[in-house]
Amino acid sequence: MIETIALLPLAVSLICFLLNRRTRLIEATAIIGAFLLLISGGYASISVFREGPWSEGMWYIDQLSALMMLIISFVGFLAILYSISYIRHEHEEEGISLNMVRFYYTSLFMFIFTMVLVVVSNNLGVVWIAVEATTLVSAFLVGFYNKGTSLEAAWKYLIICSVGIALALLGTIFVYASSIGILGEESGMNWTSLMAAADQLDPSLLKFGFVLVLIGYGTKVGLAPMHTWLPDAHSQSPSPVSALLSGVLLNCAMYAVLRYHILLTHSSVGGEFSSDLLLLFGLISLVIAAAFIIVQKDYKRLLAYSSIEHMGIISIGFGFGGFWGIFGALLHMLNHALTKSLLFFSAGNVLLKYKTRGIEEVRGIARTMPFTAVLLLIGALAITGSPPFSVFTSEIMVMTAGFDQGDVWATVAYIAIIVVIFAAFMAHISKMVFGEPPEGMKKGEVSKVGLLPMIVLAATILIMGLYLPDLLSDGLRSIVDLFGGA
Amino acid sequence: MQDSLSLDLVDTFAAIILLTDFMLVASGRMRSLTRLFAIQSLALGGLAAVVAFETKAENIYIIAVLSVALKAIVIPRFIDYTTEKIQVKKEVEPLIKIPGSLLICAALALLAYYVTEPIMDLGTAITGNCLAISFATVLIGLFLMVSRRKAITEAIGLLVVENGVFLAAIAMTYSMPMIVELGVFFDVFVGVVIMVVFAFRINRTFDSIDATSLRGLKD
């Protein structure tokens, strides 16, 4: 079953590769693929949330993987739907060739395939292979436009993330070394075996390993100061890809870090060591993100720095720990993915219309594209943590956890920075939404179909802000149990 | 099983790896960079073969063979072919002069010994000494990446880092589980191919693969 779900996007990718005649045919395949992804991923998540982990040989889905599956399949589904209108517009108006369209969907599904692979494997080594594969595939999507700047971004992305991931491999080997004497060669990297023997693992190797893994995968999460590839890659890639990078890929890397964090919590090292490191990197990311958000001139980079901020918040939540810290951070992973995708889709519409990424040059979206303007404002208010949207809920949970755990200074800093970012972010966005549009700018949305996934997202973050479904909150609760209850 | 000949061989191969690290930093020509990387990979393969012989684990032989075939033959040729094709200048163009670079690398090697000392004795018996060298290789590879101008040298630096990681795997646990090992090789190989593809595109767009021309994106 797990294999079928994992291989599905790969199959769709291959089919897209073979269709080289008509764009409509490729688009139809992509839509069908998106639906299958949503249904299969959603089914897996729901049934794991309801009935507990699936374990099939080298594949394993527990509640944490299920949460990731949910994010991958839902955001993936919407990103593909949005791609249809976005890429079609580029194909028809900007001269993106049929071959490029085919290449785009092939890579997109391949990218989704590698991300699914990250979360369904029971072997930490295979997790590593899959994370590296996500970089290799998505580098093509980052460099999609083949211009100087996008090639630069892709190259930086490839090199920086590969170095990071090499360090993560070193960390994986350390953890393997801590277990090989007890578990033997075959199961020494198996997550379930590692967890069962957690208290016997060598603590100094584990500590060493975790530091390397955190720096390594942390590069991919976008934690400062290893974040330098992120604003470039997010701003240069096509907008639907930016949404996937920001909303899904960063979470997948965070998932890899969490596996090790959970392992350390259960071992004789205890959770304190890894939590403190997560808290530290989280706070650094928040500070760096705030600084660059204030001075930002490019709205896609603005969103990218906001992703660094939110990865920082998630990291801080796990760093604080305790029930609310972990629950809040998990919920925040989902909330950030949904909200940031909405924002990148809106930014995509703005980019297609205004043909510039400069904040200064974009004025009066409210006049030119009223629907996009409303959705962009909703997204901006939501991402900066305004009630009643869902990001607000999870940010409050993390804050509560901070006070509960007695980390008063860290919590005060956390609140202060979030307030600063709110002000700076909203100032940028409101300048873009209001005011007089540039001369000669025609009224009208870029595409009506493209608004649909955005409306779905806006509705979801609003509903989730008001009411958390029992199924989801029970699922998150059982993930918190994985962290040792706390 | 601690045959002294094997121990000597392992130490010799490890010494060659460390030596090539320094020679990589000292070399001024692109050609010699790829040659030295090939020699280093050959030594890594040899080391893996000795370990395989000692531990009688067949899967390590496969690693030895793959490491020689891919990293000592295919990848260096591939990079040479690329540099020739896009007519890269033959000089390495270091951002930090070579004597200074060597001093920094000596410091990095010392740092590697210092860092790994507390965990040295946790490594497996016959390869325990290699851990410090593996760390030194990782650090020197990183240094190569940041201190040279060309995009291609960044890729070679990355490959050196990966050699260091493989050496660490052999030093600590003899190897990784088979499926993981194969996957890692696959990723490394695909990674190099993709980097070369981008090197071609970058060259076409900028008329050079000088990494300093990749400085357009700023805040």
B180 → closest Cβ in A129, A149, A235: A129
pLDDT of the residue at B129: 72
Tokens describing residue A103: 């290449």
Identify the CA nearest to A315 among candidates A346, A260, A275.
Answer: A275
Tens of pLDDT, residue by residue over A452-479, are 999 999 999 999 999 999 999 999 999 9
Compute the distance between CA of residue A104 and CA of residue A73 in angstroms, rounded to an integer: 18
Q: Comparing A52-61, A85-94, A192-201, B48-57, which segment has the lowest mean pLDDT?
A: B48-57
Over residues A199-207, the mean pLDDT reads 90
Q: B206 to chain A: which residues are within 8 Å by CB?
A: 148
Domain boundaries, chain A: 2-482
Over residues B171-181, the mean pLDDT reads 81
Identify the CA nearest to A134 among candidates A49, A40, A219, A23.
Answer: A219
Cβ contacts below 8 Å, chain A against chain B, sum to: 125
Mutate to test the interface with B, among A114, A165, A173 (most CBs of B within 10 A): A173
Compute the distance between CA of residue A123 and CA of residue B180 in angstroms, rounded to an integer: 9
A149 → closest Cβ in B161, B162, B217: B217
Contact between A346 and A379 (Cβ < 8 Å)? yes
Q: Where is pLDDT greater, at B152 or A35?
A: A35
pLDDT of the residue at B1: 47
| Residue A129 pLDDT > 90 | yes
Distance from CA of A185 to the nearest CA of B (A): 6
Please answer yes or no on whether B190 and A136 come within 8 Å at the CB atom.
yes
Please answer yes or no on whether B214 and A152 come within 8 Å at the CB atom.
yes
pLDDT of the residue at A144: 93
Please answer yes or no on whether B177 and A186 come within 8 Å at the CB atom.
yes
Identify the CA nearest to A10 among candidates A121, A132, A137.
Answer: A137
- On the 0-12 / 13-18 / 19+ scale of CB atoms within 10 A, A66 is buried
Q: Comparing A17-31, A344-358, A413-427, which segment has the lowest mean pLDDT?
A: A17-31
Q: Comparing A292-296, B170-174, B206-210, which segment has the lowest mean pLDDT?
A: B206-210
For residues A155, A156, A162, A165, the Cα torsion angle rounded to the nearest 10 degrees is -150
Mutate to test the interface with B, among A134, A170, A298 (most CBs of B within 10 A): A170
B173 → closest Cβ in A154, A156, A176: A176
Please answer yes or no on whether A301 and B219 come within 8 Å at the CB atom.
yes
Please answer yes or no on whether B158 and A189 come within 8 Å at the CB atom.
no
Report the percent of chain A where pLDDT is more than 70.
100
Q: B183 to chain A: which residues are within 8 Å by CB?
A: 125-126, 129
| Residue A5 pLDDT > 50 | yes
Q: A147 to chain B: which residues are within 8 Å by CB?
A: 205
Q: B165 to chain A: which residues are within 8 Å by CB?
A: 166, 169-170, 173
Q: B191 to chain A: which residues are within 8 Å by CB?
A: 132, 136, 158, 162
Contact between B160 and B140 (Cβ < 8 Å)? yes
Please answer yes or no on whether B214 and A155 come within 8 Å at the CB atom.
yes
Tens of pLDDT, residue by residue over A290-335, are 999 999 999 999 999 999 999 999 999 999 999 999 999 999 999 9
Please answer yes or no on whether B169 and A202 come within 8 Å at the CB atom.
no
Domain boundaries, chain B: 4-205
Please answer yes or no on whether B165 and A188 come within 8 Å at the CB atom.
no
Compute the distance between CA of residue B134 and CA of residue A442 in angstroms, rounded to an integer: 61
Tens of pLDDT, residue by residue over A257-270, are 999 999 999 998 88
pLDDT of the residue at B123: 52
Q: What is the 3-state secondary structure (H, E, C) of A10-72?
A: HHHHHHHHHCCCCHHHHHHHHHHHHHHHHHHHHHHHHHHHHHCCEEECCEEECHHHHHHHHHH
State whether residue B180 sits within 8 Å of chain A by CB: yes
Compute the distance between CA of residue A253 and CA of residue A269 in angstroms, rounded to an integer: 23
Name the residue in chain B with its Cα closest to that of A165: B162
Residue A66 — pLDDT band, cuts 50, 70, 90?
A: very high
pLDDT of the residue at A226: 92
Over residues A227-250, the mean pLDDT reads 95
Q: For residue A146, which phi and psi values (nearest 5 degrees)?
A: 60, 20
Please answer yes or no on whether A166 and B190 come within 8 Å at the CB atom.
no
pLDDT of the residue at A23: 86
Angle between helix axes A299-320 and A250-266 (nearest 10 degrees) is 10
| Residue A486 pLDDT > 80 | no
Alpha helical stretches, state H, A295-364: 299-320, 322-354
pLDDT of the residue at B2: 55
B65 Cα distance to chain centroid: 16
Residue pointed to by tokens 């990148």? A344
Omega of the bond leading into A388 within 30 degrees of 0 (cis) = yes
Identify the CA nearest to A165 among candidates A229, A246, A241.
Answer: A229
Tens of pLDDT, residue by residue over A206-234, are 999 999 999 999 999 999 899 999 999 99
Residues 6+ apart with CB under 8 A from B138: A166, A167, A170, B112, B161, B164, B165, B168
Cβ density class A93-132: b for 16+ within 10 Å, e for less = eeebeeeebbbbbbbbbbbbbbbbbbbbbbbbbbbbbbbb
Mutate to test the interface with A, among B170, B213, B217 (most CBs of A within 10 A): B217
State whether residue B193 sits within 8 Å of chain A by CB: no
